[in-house]
Amino acid sequence: MYDTVKLEKGMYHLANRSFTQALEAADPSAQYAGTELAELDAFERQLKRFDIHVSGADCDPVEKFFTTTESAVLFPEFVRRAIKRGMEESILPELTAASSSVRASSCKGFSIDETDGAYSATTAEGVSLKKTVITESAAIALDKYGRLVSASYETIRQQRIDVFAVMLRAVGHKLAGAIAGKALTVIKNSVTPVSSATTTLAYTDLATLYAQFSDYDMTTVIASPATVASILAMTEMRDRTLDADGQVRLPFGAKLLKDSSLNNKTVVGISRDFALACITGSDVLLESDRLIDCQLDRIAVSVRIGFQPLMSGAAAVLSVRTS
């Protein structure tokens, strides 16, 4: 049962297994089917075991994690999850069609050649079918993104856990924002931009961007905050309201997102399901031993990640003319 699992630092250093996976192996969630603990994962059951409340009116201070040597082992995973949640709340998940992981600092990509003939071409009896050729491309570098958070134990020990989690989520959110900027750069470098009709962005220019998608649907439009504001002020957007997910959509259905890494003269459109793949060389990494030992003067968090453009025609870029 979950209340007999032996927690120790070494669970963070097992080969090919995360701390949560180690917990699940020791305390499988399947055995709780049909019980009041069925909705909790192995980590959450450990929080319950040590009576650590991470949210709500009875939320504990951070020092509650360090009541015992075993409960202290849970703290790095709490930090990792809070940062990871902040990353997931960014626009990064909105940009990628698929995600994969490798244990390296780079990986081989692939390219697709469909110039052999159109999909609409018919094939006579005995004649070879038109080819889509997939070949290996140059290596994709997985860049390391990270942040060093300085916070002594004495500074945060009396902070409510949920308040501290907000700070960590903000770090993750901004880190993911920087990574999203890299993803958008990869997209921009993979296509030839089309130009606006004038030096002022107009709705007709957005229609031009939409027209670049012949095989795929443009599901998402990303622009700088200032450009998004100008789009929202267009007459064509006057009657638009938030959808069920709280997202703003253009009249032709695409989500409208903002990203501060883009300049005010660039608008990116993608078909989310076909434009870009995300490759991670590591999950969110922390110096777990330091956190367990209350050495919170420096919390180093990092992730290694790269991007691969996928299908031709699944992304387009609009460049607003400067003159």
Task: Encode pLDDT of 143-175 as tens digits.
Answer: 999 998 888 888 888 999 999 999 999 999 999
- Give the residue, 99 or 239, on which the prediction is more confident: 99
Residues 248-258 as b/e (b if ≥16 CB within 10 A, e otherwise) read bbbeeebbbbb
Mean pLDDT in residue range 218-225: 97
Helix (H) / strand (E) containing 155: helix 153-156
Model confidence at 260, pLDDT cuts 50, 70, 90, reads very high
The per-residue pLDDT for 88 is 92
pLDDT number for residue 102: 85
- The predicted model gives 227-249 an average pLDDT of 88
Q: Mean of the pLDDT values across residues 295-314?
A: 88
What would the pLDDT profile of 35-68 be if each residue is shown by its tens digit?
999 999 999 999 999 999 999 999 999 999 999 9
In this predicted structure, the answer to whether residue 218 has a pLDDT above a threshold of 80 is yes
Query: Which of 305, 286, 294 has the alpha carbon at shortest distance from 82?
Result: 286
The sign of the dihedral angle between the CA atoms of 81, 17, 145, 268 is negative
What is the value of pTM for the model shown? Answer: 0.86
Q: How confident is the model at residue 97 (pLDDT cuts 50, 70, 90)?
A: very high
Residue 86, pLDDT > 80, answer: yes
Confidence category of residue 256, pLDDT binned at 50, 70, 90: very high
pLDDT confidence tier of residue 204, bands split at 50, 70 and 90: very high
> What is the average pLDDT across 211-238?
95
Place of tokens 């309201």: 241
Percentage of the chain surpassing pLDDT 90?
69
Cα separation, 165 vs 81, in Å, equals 9
Q: In whole angstroms, give the CA distance from residue 57 to residue 4.
A: 28
**Helix (H, G, I), strand (E, B), or coil: what is residue 237?**
helix
- Mean predicted confidence (pLDDT) in 120-147: 86
Spatial separation of the C-alpha atoms in residues 44 and 81, rounded to whole Å: 11
And the tokens for 40? Answer: 């909790």
In contact, 97 and 275? CB cutoff 8 Å? yes
Domain residue ranges of the chain, discontinuous segments joined by +: 2-89+143-180+282-308
Place of tokens 């501290």: 164
> How many C-beta neighbours within 10 Å does residue 45 have?
18
